[in-house]
């Protein structure tokens, strides 16, 4: 009964929320093309884990297209539930929604989202970074609206205080530097790591696997590549647990998710995070309201076994659910959201009432370079180089459709190893079993 109730409740909630959400803009006018005439007067429901873009810009979108946007700010987990409930029940819950690329293969295989190739105007995604993560069977099901990759961040002041003059490029150097910072007493726990059993832990392990020389944790046939003790995935798990056991990471990290781990660095309680999110220097570490280390944290290409390695792509996407009522209007909104000119405004290069706090980094590369040139991207030069030249898909051979179940096994097993209720070999065994199953 609970699953069904949850399903019914989810649908009812979405519909209820859509009914009461404030209408963000009203008037229409502007465009004259036949496509625009078709969608004129339509109202689309957008379900995103973020506050809405500035009203001024949304009003302009309505004026140009005649499409009114109703915005629902819903958390990540609830959106996943709504997508599953809506897809399984073949029911409408929104016209545009957050698209988690890790669930993408599920969504694509079950046809819960519409391919965007034919919906979007040609060339709209030409300059969009990270598209490959949203492409399944050669069709584009989602588009990144925010660029992000796994990247190392470190507090250069703390490193300098410990007498470290050059930034680490290998894992051995990086580990030795952290030990040096701890021994110098600069900070008790120099490394931030989210050991709570949540998605952030899987992301951390996969990027650390890349750091130890693994291109992917699965081969092109989907076979796991981490159960051998000499494999990068195995070494990554060992390194992570060892960092916790040797006091480089706080014992309390077993309760920390991404935001708590990043918060420790922002409060000056840790010196570095091997796997952080691109965009956090501007949006967190350099924000005086949230940070005590303004101007001290910089990006660093992720150190590897023999030198810097590629960063995994972690872009947030949007898509159009298969049961959207207004797919053409929805596609018009998607195009508008990823448009370079708008993303420049969202990023703070225009008027102050056009800034959209939910966009950490624009997914449009020219927009990103423009914002960087205007000094709107913290430590932008390093970041731009990583995004353009040193990033790779999360799974180079494609995300398996059973990824959510596998990720669940990774989270619970590594968390158990961190809390001491499981050994590292047993944790790896459980993760491998989930991958094989």
Partner 1 sequence: MPIPSVHEKSVRLTIPPAGTASGRPIARRKGGLRRHPAWLPYALVSPLGVFVILLTLVPAAFTLGESFFRVDLFDPPIRFVAFGNFVDLFRSSAMRTSFANTAVYVLIGVTLSTVLGFIMAVTLQRRFVGRSLLIALMIIPWALPGVAEGIMWLGIWGSDTGLLNSALTSLHLIDHYQVWLGTNPLLTIFVIELVQVWEMTPLSALLILATLQNIPGEVYEAAAIDGASPLRTLRHITLPLALPGVTLAMVQALVGAINIFDEPYVLNGSASTGASAVMQTYFVSFQDLNFGEGYALSLMITVVTILASLVILRFIYRPVEY
Tell me the sheet residues that pair with 72: 47
Report the residue number, 3 or 20, with the smaller CB distance to partner 1: 3
- Give dist(CA 34, CA 328) in Å, integer: 12
- Give 346's contacts (C-beta < 8 A, 6+ positions apart): 53, 54, 57, 354, 355, 356, 359, 362
Among 41, 51, 163, 420, binds partner 1 (CB under 8 A): 420
Among 67, 140, 162, 197, binds partner 1 (CB under 8 A): 197
- Give dist(CA 72, CA 342) in Å, integer: 20
- Give dist(CA 32, CA 379) in Å, integer: 43
In the complex, the smallest distance separating the C-beta of residue 98 from partner 1, rounded to whole angstroms, is 15
In the complex, the smallest distance separating the C-beta of residue 404 from partner 1, rounded to whole angstroms, is 4
Q: Does 269 contact partner 1 by CB under 8 A?
A: yes
Among 1, 19, 230, 289, binds partner 1 (CB under 8 A): 1
Number of residues that bind partner 1 (CB under 8 A): 43
Residue 342, SS3? helix
Q: Does 260 contact partner 1 by CB under 8 A?
A: yes
Q: Does 251 contact partner 1 by CB under 8 A?
A: yes
In the complex, the smallest distance separating the C-beta of residue 413 from partner 1, rounded to whole angstroms, is 9
Terminal CA-to-CA distance of the chain, rounded, Å? Answer: 27
Q: Does 429 contact partner 1 by CB under 8 A?
A: no
> Which residues, 296 to 355, sit near partner 1 by CB under 8 A?
none
* Interface region with partner 1, contact rule CB under 8 A, candidates 14-22, 48-56, 196-204, 208-216: 196-204
In the complex, the smallest distance separating the C-beta of residue 367 from partner 1, rounded to whole angstroms, is 34
Q: Which residue in this structure is represented by tokens 């966009």?
A: 359
Cβ atoms of residues 73 and 52 within 8 Å: yes
- Return the closest-CA partner of residue 357 out of 431, 290, 429: 290
How, if at all, do strands 135-136 and 139-140 pair?
A: antiparallel
Q: Does 222 contact partner 1 by CB under 8 A?
A: no
Q: Does 6 contact partner 1 by CB under 8 A?
A: yes
> Which residues, 382 to 411, sit near partner 1 by CB under 8 A?
401-402, 404-405, 408, 411
């Amino acid at each position: 009964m609970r699953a069904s109730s949850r399903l019914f409740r989810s649908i009812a909630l979405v519909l209820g929320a859509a009914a009461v959400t404030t209408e963000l803009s009203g008037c229409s006018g502007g465009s004259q093309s036949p496509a625009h005439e078709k969608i004129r007067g339509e109202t689309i429901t957008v379900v995103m884990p973020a506050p809405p873009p500035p009203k001024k810009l949304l009003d302009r979108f309505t004026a140009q297209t005649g499409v009114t946007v109703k915005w629902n700010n819903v958390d990540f987990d609830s959106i996943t539930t709504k997508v599953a409930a809506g897809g399984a029940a073949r029911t409408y819950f929104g016209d545009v929604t957050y698209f988690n690329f890790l669930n993408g293969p599920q969504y694509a295989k079950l046809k819960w989202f519409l391919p965007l190739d034919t919906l979007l105007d040609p060339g709209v995604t030409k300059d969009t970074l990270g598209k490959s993560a949203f492409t399944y069977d050669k069709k584009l099901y989602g588009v990144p609206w925010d660029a992000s990759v796994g990247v190392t961040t470190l507090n250069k002041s703390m490193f300098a205080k410990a007498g470290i003059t050059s930034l680490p490029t290998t894992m051995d150097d990086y580990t030795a530097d952290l030990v040096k910072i701890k021994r110098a007493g600069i900070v008790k726990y120099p490394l931030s790591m989210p050991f709570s059993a949540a998605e952030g832990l899987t992301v951390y392990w996969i990027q650390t696997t890349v750091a130890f020389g693994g291109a992917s944790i699965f081969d092109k046939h989907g076979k796991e590549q981490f159960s051998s003790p000499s494999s990068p995935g195995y070494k990554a798990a060992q390194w992570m647990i060892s960092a916790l056991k040797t006091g480089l990471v706080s014992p309390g990290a077993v309760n920390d998710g991404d935001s708590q781990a990043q918060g420790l660095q922002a409060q000056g309680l840790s010196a570095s995070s091997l796997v952080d999110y691109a965009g956090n220097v501007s949006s967190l570490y350099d924000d005086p309201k949230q940070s005590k280390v303004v101007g001290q944290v910089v990006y660093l290409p992720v150190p590897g076994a023999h030198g810097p390695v590629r960063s995994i792509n972690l872009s947030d996407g949007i898509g159009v659910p298969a049961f959207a009522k207004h797919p053409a209007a929805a596609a018009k909104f998607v195009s508008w959201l990823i448009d370079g000119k708008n993303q420049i405004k969202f990023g703070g290069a225009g008027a102050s009432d056009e800034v959209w706090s939910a966009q950490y980094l624009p997914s449009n590369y020219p927009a990103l370079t423009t914002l960087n040139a205007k000094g709107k991207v913290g430590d932008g030069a390093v970041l731009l180089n990583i995004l353009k030249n040193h990033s790779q898909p999360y799974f180079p051979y494609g995300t398996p459709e059973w990824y959510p179940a596998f990720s669940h096994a990774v989270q619970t097993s590594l968390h158990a190893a961190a809390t001491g209720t499981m050994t590292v070999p047993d944790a790896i065994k459980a993760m491998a079993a989930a991958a094989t199953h």
